[in-house]
């Protein structure tokens, strides 16, 4: 299976063949030796995780950087295969992991915001179908306020303003209004 991985690496990454060859050598070492070499297994796992993170990253990297990084992963695997100790993560690896983690966090925030906005929309629709039932809007202000806070932390000022306008409109629909101190706190 590492031979198939080698082919894929050659297609996906500049200088990917070098890494693919290192992975094949590592698999050969593991097959011929008695027992797993922990340092080699860690370097192989690190390389695979870094490659996966690089593919998930979405940030285009310069060809030279990718070539250097792929070559460096191969060197680390080869060094461990020759009995070397596993090496600590390098700063560029941490940067890739951090970007992927940040992107995943942002995706989760977006999913949560969409769900909350869907709840708000359903509540407002229900209110317009039965305007005498103001209690249908009871949770909307808090939901919009929560969303506004998240968008504010993310630095999305226009979206934050839009949510404030929505909160004001909902307050007008319910006949209530936020007092001045509550609006300033937001």
One-letter-per-residue 3-state SS of 9-43 = HHHHCCCHHHHHHHHHHHHHHHHHCCCCCHHHHHH
- pLDDT score recorded for residue 108: 92
Q: Which two tokens stand for residue 91?
A: 């700063």
DSSP tag of 130 = S
Q: What is the distance between the alpha carbons of residues 25 and 76, in angstroms, rounded to a whole number?
A: 12
What is the number of H-type helices and E-type strands within the chain?
8, 0
pLDDT tens, per residue, the chain with 186 residues: 777 888 888 888 877 889 888 988 888 887 776 667 888 989 999 998 888 888 877 666 677 788 888 899 999 999 999 988 888 999 988 988 888 888 888 899 999 999 999 999 999 999 989 888 888 898 999 999 999 999 999 888 999 999 999 999 988 888 754 444 344 443
- pLDDT score recorded for residue 176: 56
Cβ neighbours around 130 below 10 Å, total: 10
CA angle 42, 48, 53 (to 5 degrees): 120
């Amino acid at each position: 299976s590492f031979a198939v991985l080698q082919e894929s690496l050659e297609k996906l990454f500049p200088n990917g063949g070098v890494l693919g060859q290192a992975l094949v050598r590592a698999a050969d070492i593991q097959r011929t030796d008695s027992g797993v070499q922990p340092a080699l297994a860690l370097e192989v796992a690190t390389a695979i995780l870094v490659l996966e993170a690089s593919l998930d990253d979405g940030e285009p990297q310069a060809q030279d950087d990718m070539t250097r990084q792929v070559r460096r992963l191969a060197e680390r695997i080869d060094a461990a295969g020759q009995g070397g100790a596993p090496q600590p993560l390098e700063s560029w690896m941490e940067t890739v992991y951090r970007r992927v983690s940040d992107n995943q966090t942002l995706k989760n925030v977006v999913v949560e915001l969409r769900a909350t906005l869907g709840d708000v929309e359903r509540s407002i629709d229900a209110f317009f179908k039965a305007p005498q039932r103001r209690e249908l809007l009871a949770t909307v202000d808090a939901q919009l306020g929560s969303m506004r806070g998240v968008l504010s932390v993310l630095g999305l000022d226009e979206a934050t303003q839009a949510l404030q306008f929505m909160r004001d409109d909902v307050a007008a629909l319910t006949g209530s209004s936020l007092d001045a101190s509550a609006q300033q706190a937001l």
